[in-house]
Structure 1
Amino acid sequence: MVRYIQQMIIVIFLILFLATLPSIVLVNPTNGTVSLNFAQFPSMVGNFFKELSTGSLGTYYVGMEQRSIASEIGDNFFTSFYIVFVGVLLSILLSLLFGIFLSRFYLTKIFRVMMNIISTIPDFIFIIFALLFAVNIYKWTGFRVVSFLPNGGALNIWFPMVLVAIAPSIYLFKLISERYFLIAGEDYIRTAVAKGLKVDRINFQHVYKNIEPFLVADLVKVLSLAIGNLFIVEYLLNVSGLTKFVFQSFGDPQPIAIGLFGILFISLLVFVVIRLLLYLFKRGFIYE
């Protein structure tokens, strides 16, 4: 319990440090030198908690217009949550489907080749290419795949979900495929095959049960990949998510800290929900 409290304090300190970093780093315009003014850090942290104690989350600017964070954070929170949750869930479903249950089919070989090709491209570059491809689809066919308007509705949400799912899918698919081939050579799998058990039963009752602990252990890594892509996707596609408070803060620590804390809470919430879904799946389809 004490260790968790210590970790929580460290995380809070790191988030506040990152939020105040743009104000701490000072650049001299005359000679271009960079200096750090850590003396402002305690006062900025104090102002942050003082603002919270008044029941307000503070304000941020859109152009010259000052807006309240509390009045907009609800919709932005759920937008980012939907993108991360669906992206992570989609990556898990695709990885399990092609890594275990469809691994013996030719379609999986095509999927593996695609994942290997995409994995050689940096995430940022791949997202840029995907956006250019979506724009060209609209030019060629007149069919709108993506919208760059903050109020674009489904067009402004489903494409970011797919892009966020790319990096976690590549990571999980390689992990699950590697574990699948290792487990497939074990003696108990050969015994099950010799007894005439169906492949689907073997995959569910033996293979998945032994892969599931590795999936759960790497869930934090999967979430970190999804969150990293969330910043890129929401910025490039002009999505009104929590990262808006970070990018449109103009160095103000208050909205940056609120945005980062909100993203941290999204990570924890998605982690809990995914763990719950994996538990329900195991209880519903896997016999102990």
Structure 2
Amino acid sequence: MVRALQQIFIIIILILLLAALPKIISVDPSSGSLEWSFDSLPQIYGDFILEVSGGSLGTYQLGQQTRPIAEDIADNFLTSLQIVLIAVNASLIISLIFGVFISRFRLTKLFGAFLNILASIPDFIIIVMSMLLAVKIYKTTGIRVISLRPDGGALNTWFPTVLAAIAPTLYLFKLVSVKYYQTSGEDYIKTAVAKGMGLNYINFQHVYKNLEPFIKSELVKVISLAIGNLFIIEHIMNVSGITKFIFQSNEVQPIAIGLFAMLLISLFVYISIRFIFYLFKRGFIYE
């Protein structure tokens, strides 16, 4: 319990430090060097705590308007949560299906080869190329698959969700595929095959049970990949998500609130994946 509180305290300090960077870093015009004003940190931290303890989340700048964060944060939070939640869970399901349960089919090998090609391309390039492809589809067929308007509805969320799922899928699929082939060579798998057990039974009751701990240990990295791409996707696709508070202001309050919201989104996504593992084990795995 004490260690958990220490970790929470350190996370809060780090987030506030990141949020305060625009205020404590300046450039000396004469020498061109960076100047750090760490002596202003206590005042910054104090103002943030006073603002929050007073029941206000502060304000942020939206164009020429100054708006209260509390009025807009709920919708923006739900938009970002929806994108990351669907993206990470979909990447997990796709990786398990193609990496374990239908790995023997030729389609899976073609899918794996396609993902290996994508894995060699930086995420930012994939996102830009996908947007250009969407524009080309619209020019050729007249079918609109993306919208760069914040009020675009489903058009403004489904395509960002697909893009946010790419990096986690590439990472998880490679991890699952490697662990699957390593596990398939173990003696207990060979014994199960020799006893005439069905392939699906072996995959569910033996292979998956040994893959699950490896996947759980990588969940934080998988979620961080989706969150990292979310910053890029929401910014260049004009999605009204939680990153709006981070990109459209250099004030401590909105940046800190946005970063804390990102941390909360990561926690919700992590809990959802663990819950899916629990339901899957209860429904299909015999202990």
Scaled to the shorter chain, the TM-score interval is: over 0.9
Q: What does residue 285 of structure 1 align with?
A: 284
Deviation per CA, 1:158-183, whole angstroms, max 9, x where unpaired? 11111111111111111111110011
Amino acid at match of 2:143: F
Q: Secondary structure at the match of 1:72?
A: helix
Deviation per CA, 1:26-52, whole angstroms, max 9, x where unpaired? 123455332111111111111111111
Q: Secondary structure at the match of 1:56?
A: coil
Q: What does residue 207 of structure 1 align with?
A: 207
Within 2, Cα distance between the matches of 1:33 and 1:193? 67
Within 1, Cα distance between the matches of 2:31 and 2:182? 59
Shift of 1:191: 1.5
Shift of 1:147: 0.5
Q: Secondary structure at the match of 2:136?
A: helix
Q: What does residue 2 of structure 1 align with?
A: 2
Q: What does residue 254 of structure 1 align with?
A: 253
Amino acid at match of 2:19: A
Q: Secondary structure at the match of 1:70?
A: helix
Moved more, 114-123 or 188-197: 188-197
- Give runs of aligned pairs for residues 37-116 of structure 1, distance below 5 A: 37-116=37-116
Shift of 1:125: 1.2
Within 1, Cα distance between the matches of 2:21 and 2:134? 36
Unpaired segments ≥5 residues, structure 2: none
Deviation per CA, 1:36-72, whole angstroms, max 9, x where unpaired? 1111111111111111111010000111101010001
Within 2, Cα distance between the matches of 1:137 and 1:253? 41
Q: What does residue 156 of structure 2 align with?
A: 156
Q: What does residue 265 of structure 2 align with?
A: 266
Unpaired segments ≥5 residues, structure 1: none
Q: C-alpha root-mean-square deviation of aligned residues, in Å?
A: 0.9
Amino acid at match of 1:287: Y
Q: Secondary structure at the match of 2:256?
A: helix
Amino acid at match of 2:262: I
**TM-score normalized by structure 1?**
0.98
Q: What does residue 238 of structure 2 align with?
A: 238
Moved more, 2-11 or 186-195: 186-195
Amino acid at match of 1:119: A
Q: Percent identity at matched positions?
A: 59
Q: What does residue 35 of structure 1 align with?
A: 35
Deviating above 4 A after TM superposition, structure 1's stretches of 4 or more consecutive aligned residues are none
Q: Secondary structure at the match of 2:35?
A: strand
Within 1, Cα distance between the matches of 2:240 and 2:84? 14
Within 2, Cα distance between the matches of 1:228 and 1:79? 16
